[in-house]
Structure formats: structure tokens, C-alpha cells
Amino acid sequence: MNNDWNKLAANILRAELRLRGLTYSQLHERLLLLGIKETASGIKGKISRGSFQFSFFLQCAIAIGIKKLSLDEILSKGEPSE
């Protein structure tokens, strides 16, 4: 189901934020530096719902500082059912 994939994407962002000790407010500030105008509450809502475009995922990944993201590692932890 699509929802499982959405949940996986949101979980990846949440995990990366936790790993780096970043809050949604700090992500908001970093996105602003990239010229992306989102409110902190809007960012939190998107990630909580898991409803966002891949471009938002990429923007967050760059703002967070993700240099590598291995699909092999992600999928080995349990591929969502289709």
C-alpha cells in the first residue's frame, strides 16, 4: 500500500533528525537557508502524516546533511507490503 511507503519515508526523516539531535524548528531554519519557505508546524505536520512529495524529502535530506542514503539498508529492515 502507498501508505506503508509514505510511513517509511516519514520514518527515515524522523530517524535522521533524531540521529543529528535536530528539532523541527531547526529543520525549518535550515530549509529557510535553502530558500524553502515552510513553517515549523507545517513541516512537523507533513512528516507526521507522511504526506509529502519526494522533492520535500530531498530538500529535508540536504538541509539535515544526509550525504548517503542506501536503499539496500532501508529495504533490509523490512520492505513495505504492496
Q: How many distinct structural domains can be found in the chain?
A: 1
Within the chain, how many helices (H) and strands (E) appear?
5, 0
Cα-based distances in Å from 8 to 25, 39, 41, 48, 67:
22, 23, 20, 11, 19
In a domain, 56, yes or no: yes
Range of the domain at 23: 2-65
Percent of the chain's residues with pLDDT above 70: 89
In a domain, 74, yes or no: no
In a domain, 79, yes or no: no
Q: Is the pLDDT of residue 30 over 80?
A: yes
16-21: long-range pairs with CB below 8 Å, 24+: 16/61, 16/64, 16/66, 17/64, 20/64, 20/65
In a domain, 11, yes or no: yes
In a domain, 71, yes or no: no
pLDDT band, very low/low/confident/very high, at 72 (cuts 50, 70, 90): confident
pLDDT at position 19 is: 93
Percent of the chain's residues with pLDDT above 90: 68
Mean pLDDT of the chain: 88
In a domain, 77, yes or no: no
